[in-house]
Amino acid sequence: MKYWLLKSEPGTWSWSDQVKDNTTMWDGVRNYQARNNMMKMKKNDKCFFYHSVNDKSIVGIIRVAKEYYPDPTDKTNKFVAVDVKTVKSLAKAVTLQEIKNDVRLSHIALVKQSRLSVMPIDKKSWQIICNKGGLNINF
């Protein structure tokens, strides 16, 4: 299993929208590096749900329910979508500032490539962030 972080603007698609719908298509990604990351996702990989723009925090966990397929919102047929399913809310949101302040997380793409909307997270960083969010470190 691999771990990922997916960003969404709360005004476009929020954690509460995700929880309400439970399973949804993650579409609209228009960056080639993010697309390539989506193409590496496998069913049941876990993903952090990150509120971008104003909130700038990880608020929940989703999992890949369906591997990549052509994004129906892309008229160029260059980009892909995946389906994701709600897993769990974090007990406490983990802010970007908390992540930046933790030297153990200084290497992750959220710190190094902050504009990337879909990024891998290594297992150790996943566990650190889960712990910060109030989840069992082995979640």
pLDDT in tens, 41-57: 999 999 999 999 989 99
Residue 66: the pLDDT is 98
Instruction: Round the average pLDDT of the chain to a whole number and report it.
Output: 96
Direct distance between the N- and C-terminal alpha carbons of the chain, in angstroms, rounded to an integer: 12
pTM for the whole structure: 0.96
The span from the CA of 36 to the CA of 59, in Å, is 24
| Fold exhibited by the domain 3-123 | ph1033 like fold (3.10.590)
The span from the CA of 75 to the CA of 133, in Å, is 38
